Amino acid sequence: MTVIRGDIEVAKNSDVIDHNIYPETEMLKKRLEWFQDLKLGVIFHYGLYAQAGIVESWQLSQKDEWARTGRAFRQDFKQLQLDYWNLISKFNPTQLDAKKWAKTCKEAGFKYCIFTTKHHDGFNMFNTMESEYKIGGKLSPFKRDILKEVFEAFRAEEMAIGAYYSKADWYSPFYWLDDETIKGRTASYDPTAHPEIWARYKEFVHRQIHEITHNYGTVDLLWLDAGWCGQGKEDLDMDQLAAIAREQQEELIIVDRMMGGRHENYVTPERKIPSYAEIPNKPWESNIPIGNDWGYVPSDTFKSSQELIETFVEVVAKGGNLILGVGPTPEGTFTKEETAILNDIGNWLKIYGHGIYETRAKVEGKISPWQLTYAKDEKRHFAFCSINQLPKRIYLNEIKAQITDQLVDMKTGVRLKIYHENENAYLNVKDIELPKVGMIGIEIITH
């Protein structure tokens, strides 16, 4: 889970607290408390790359050789690009049922959803007026607005709504010039040398942000990717972009990923759980795919339900949120592996979720093998331990409990008997009913 890949950007002062006061400062204090109550979200990477069955759209970037090594979509690079761009005529997810997606995710315990409006390839999963390279457009056989359907379905299931948007756009002639230069993830020209071209690109981005935040109902999170674009040479006037986004979304949380500063309202460690020394100063959200890749790859391998539940609880015990990546198939369905995993997570949360949602952390270092979460009123806390690491005896000092506390098995609701050995008080693990997968949970109620 700590493997560094070419699709992981290096953070730029992301953990530096900006103490300046902005018009959104007080709003964000409240909204980020709300966000930290949610704990678990789902992020969908979905687009033409599902049809290709490759690592999102990274193979289009000639300089990003890592994305093609051992699994190139086509061996000839020019053919690869041509065939990828033309996938618009083949991508036709007729089995997509956004209401079914939302119901499955609700049952899995997700509290918010982030959906890819556009990845770096520039293919739009919404009805933008700024490009014909979109789902539902003249070149697309699928004549529906997927973003509209997803947002409406997830709102109906009372989940918060997030829009992923790549600030880079490799299809745009104002980002990648239509010439023979070898192109990488950045703009294919120097924007400072061609300000007239870059101005057109900046306006294009601003207009698309306007569409997403004005035409699709309430949006809670704007998750901006392409952590090399927006500042410096590729200046997108992020203050103005944010102002446009909040014209109708006054309580919008903006995540200008890996860029630091005013508009990275929370930080997003990718494919990792921060160590205790790395825990961010800002609110944070680990983002981890259920498989090895974010989007659908036919040969993908998936993490176990056990690993993902343990990961989730560790993230929460360290003070973070977790988003899990789901990659729908080209037909518009979830894989059977993802569906089974989501079912396991949901079943576990139905029993133990009251020790997860709306809790806070007291980061004191690892109390092996326990993970602790705390109710906001501090009258209760919760101790979790993997079913694969259970000790025979659970000493009260290990779970920050006192002999006067009421200790309850979260699975059964039964008060647990406290045993004594000399001056040591302990619980017998045999008194606790184990879940089929995941972690046991003990609720500690302070008197």
pLDDT at residue 3 greater than cutoff 50: no
CATH topology classification for 25-358: TIM Barrel (3.20.20)
pLDDT in tens, 109-133: 999 999 999 999 999 999 999 999 9
CA 9 to chain centre: 15
* Residue 14: per-residue pLDDT: 65
- pLDDT tens for residues 250-305? 999 999 998 999 999 999 999 999 999 999 999 999 999 999 999 999 999 999 99
pLDDT score for 2: 38
Express as a percent the part of the chain with pLDDT over 90. 93
Mean pLDDT in the chain? 95
What pLDDT is attached to residue 18? 82
Q: Tens digit of pLDDT for each residue in 388-413? A: 999 999 999 999 999 999 999 999 99
Q: How, if at all, do strands 406-409 and 419-421 pair?
A: unpaired
Do the bridges between strand 321-326 and strand 406-409 make them parallel or antiparallel, or are there none, so unpaired?
Answer: unpaired
Amino acid 19: pLDDT: 85
Per-residue model confidence as pLDDT tens digits over 144-154: 999 999 999 99
CB within 8 A of 368, min separation 6: which ones?
Answer: none
For residue 1, name the pLDDT band (cuts at 50, 70, 90).
very low
Angle (CA) 307 309 313, round 5°: 115
pLDDT band of 5, cuts 50, 70, 90:
low
Pairwise CA distance, residues 429 & 254, whole Å: 44
pLDDT in tens, 161-196: 999 999 999 999 999 999 999 999 999 999 999 999
> Residue range 218-243: average pLDDT?
97
pLDDT confidence of 335, banded at 50, 70, 90? Answer: very high
* Distances 21 to 14, 26, 119, 258 between C-alpha atoms, Å: 18, 9, 32, 21
Ordered by start, the domain boundaries in the chain are: 25-358, 367-445
Structure tokens at 94: 């007729």
Convert the pLDDT of each residue in 291-315 to its tens digit. 999 999 999 999 999 999 999 999 9
Res 15: pLDDT: 66
Domain 367-445 grouped into CATH 2.60.40 = yes
CB 279 within 8 A of CB 248: no
CB atoms within 10 A of CB 179: 9
Nearest one of 49, 62, 140, 152 to 98, comparing CA atoms: 152
Q: Reply yes or no on whether the pLDDT at 17 is more than 90.
A: no
CA quadruple 54, 60, 62, 64: dihedral, nearest 10: -50
* CB-based contact 213:249 (threshold 8 Å): yes
| Predicted pLDDT at 250 | 98
d(CA 38, CA 293): 24
Which carries the bigger pLDDT value, residue 411 or residue 364?
411
Contact 97, 328 (CB under 8 A): no
The number of residues making up the chain comes to 447
Q: What are phi and psi of 289, to 5 degrees?
A: -75, 150
| Overall pTM > 0.75 | yes
CA distance 164 to 151: 12
Residue with tokens 């309202």: 265
Tens digits of residue pLDDT in 47-90: 999 999 998 999 999 999 999 999 999 999 999 999 999 999 99
Facing residues of 371 across strands? 384
User: Is it the case that residue 9 has pLDDT exceeding 80?
Assistant: no
pLDDT-derived band at 13 (thresholds 50, 70, 90) equals low
